[in-house]
Amino acid sequence: MAGQTYEFDLMQMSAIREMANIGLGHATTALANVTGKSFNMDIPNVETVCLEEVPMMMGDPSDVCVGISMPIEGDVEGYTAFLFPWTSAQELWGMLLGYSPESPEDVDDLPASAMLEVGNILSASFMNALSDMTGLKIHATPPMVSIDLAYTIAASIVAEAELSDAVALAIETRLFGMENQQTTGYFLCVPTLEGLNKLFAALGIQGAA
């Protein structure tokens, strides 16, 4: 079930990339407004993958990463998650807090809350942008943060999503801060195929089979 993937044509992939660019553009603006810091986001790669492939995209699946995940509800159901390799998470904490924990064991309430708020802002703003584009009702829910092996976090997303027709959209992101700071992560959007086809239909595009 989790290993299922779908083939999308050129127009469908173009629509997915456009939704990613607009959604994450709004998310970056929201993050800058809330933190008072300047951010830019680059999206070098968007692809559809099996969920099991996500840890491999981030390097060694035994490496530690930080994940912020959020179920989505409404006309489109599914799951979203931001996954940051540990060193990228440290860079992001440095941008936001001016310091970063040296190891996962050093993550206390402040860094955890900061990462949770980042996930909340990015995911909710992404969903709001899609809702504005399509006129569909898409609701974000409270996010969860976890620090674990990349494989463990991805497996948890699969288990919690419990979607028989999940479509995994993996979006590589590069978040740039002031003084040439940058961090790389992955935004994972896991809608049902029905939900993705609703997005396509709202944009006037034929759905995937």
Find out whether 20 and 129 touch, Cβ atoms under 8 Å. Answer: no
Residues 154, 8: Cα–Cα separation, whole Å: 23
| Total-model pTM | 0.79
Find out whether 201 and 75 touch, Cβ atoms under 8 Å. Answer: no
Provide the terminal-to-terminal Cα distance of the chain, rounded to the nearest Å.
16
pLDDT tens sequence across 62-109? 789 898 988 889 999 888 888 888 988 888 888 888 899 999 999 999
As beta bridge partners, residue 73 has 139
